[in-house]
Amino acid sequence: MAPPAPDPVSAATLAHYDRQADAFWQGTRDHDVSQNIAELLRHLEGGPPFTILDLGCGPGRDLATFTALGHVAVGLDGAPSFARMAREYSGCEVLEQDFLRLDLPQERFDGVFANASLFHVPSAELPRVLAQLHAALKPRGVLFSSNPRGDNQEGWNGSRYGVYHDLDGWRRYLLEAGFTELNHYFRPDGVPIEQRPWLASSWRKA
């Protein structure tokens, strides 16, 4: 049987990142997301090392950070160039999977780190994707997400598809998927709220 045709939204978005892989790496490799990494780690229960899925790992910057902190990091990205770069840069296992066609082991991960990635999932598909991430987490595991925020609009930004959730909208999706809220904040720190475009939040598998 032939594999299913790729989802057109994912295909276009992933093709964009594949074309821009080198420029994306140069533009993001020095971004400081230590606040987000600390937010995930502080909620994990039990003793380290923890097994963490970096969902949308890109070229592997955060995989290398989690590994340096002593954890077992597994990457996932649907862009072939990113998956290759992440393996080479981090030395970690990297799954090459489309977010809309996830095939994840059950209850493998203590935490899922979804930094600037889940906003690419169309709202109609988001409940299913969140359910898959919920199933992939160990009991009481933690999902961290950071998304560009908006007024729940969605559509194309050039060749990339995005959904720009507000806090209430994002909260509804996560609660319906079986998560309980741990914390949320807006980034970056130190500027007025209207200049903080990122909504970060952490959630425990109920």
Distance, in Å, from the CA atom of 4 to the CA atom of 99, rounded to the nearest integer, reads 14
DSSP state of 108: -
One-letter amino acid identity for 95?
L
Distance, in Å, from the CA atom of 73 to the CA atom of 70, rounded to the nearest integer, reads 9
For 8-26+51-205, which CATH superfamily applies? Vaccinia Virus protein VP39 (3.40.50.150)
Residues in the chain: 206
Q: What is the pLDDT of residues 52-99, one digit of tens each?
A: 999 999 999 999 999 999 999 999 999 999 999 999 999 999 999 999
Q: What is the pLDDT of residues 34-58, one digit of tens each?
A: 999 999 999 999 999 999 999 999 9
Does this model's pTM top 0.75? yes
The single residue listed with the structure tokens 């080198």 is 22
- In this predicted structure, what is the pLDDT of residue 188? 86
Q: State phi, psi for 31 to the nearest 5 degrees.
A: -65, 135
Lowest-confidence region among 27-31, 188-192, 196-200: 188-192
Given a contact cutoff of 8 angstroms between Cβ atoms, the answer to whether 55 and 133 are in contact is yes
